[in-house]
Amino acid sequence: MIICDIDNCISDDAWRAIFVNHDAATIDDIWRAYHMAAFMDTAENLDVVRGKSVCFITAMPEEYRSERERWLRDWLPEDCDWSLLMRPTGDHTPSVELKRRLLQYVTSVGEEVIEMCYDDREDICAMYREEGLPATRLFIKEHQL
């Protein structure tokens, strides 16, 4: 099994950066338009998931699950067996700790060996390594939102 982020790893989200509203009143409102536009992303780096069992771990909130699952079904290779873990709606835990918690859930319920972890953020890759897993930074474009 591999662990993989979605935005900027396999989903080209760079064009959505203009939708991040840093002046919004709440964290959810800052990211709302950005998340809502995700269904229009194109895909890249699909070679890392081809023929694999993949657990996608994303910081995108659960309220966008149906749109994100539709995007995955539309873009992923047919030989990719996948599952999706998302940020609980209303949970504002920083991404590193959120993904650590979601990883701990994966390792507590599954018996598969985790072959590799991919994320576009080096701090999250470092967390995976702290947890004893191999991790590689994978990104489409060098950007930070």
Domains and CATH numbers, the chain: 2-137 (3.40.50.1000)
Task: For residue range 8-40, list pLDDT tens digits in order.
Answer: 999 999 999 999 999 999 999 999 999 999 999
> Does residue 85 surpass a pLDDT of 90?
yes
For the chain, the C-alpha Rg in angstroms (whole number) is: 14
Task: Look up the pTM and report it.
Answer: 0.94
Residue 58: pLDDT band (50, 70, 90) is very high
Collapsing DSSP states into helix, strand and coil, what is residue 71? helix
- The end-to-end CA distance of the chain, in Å, is 28
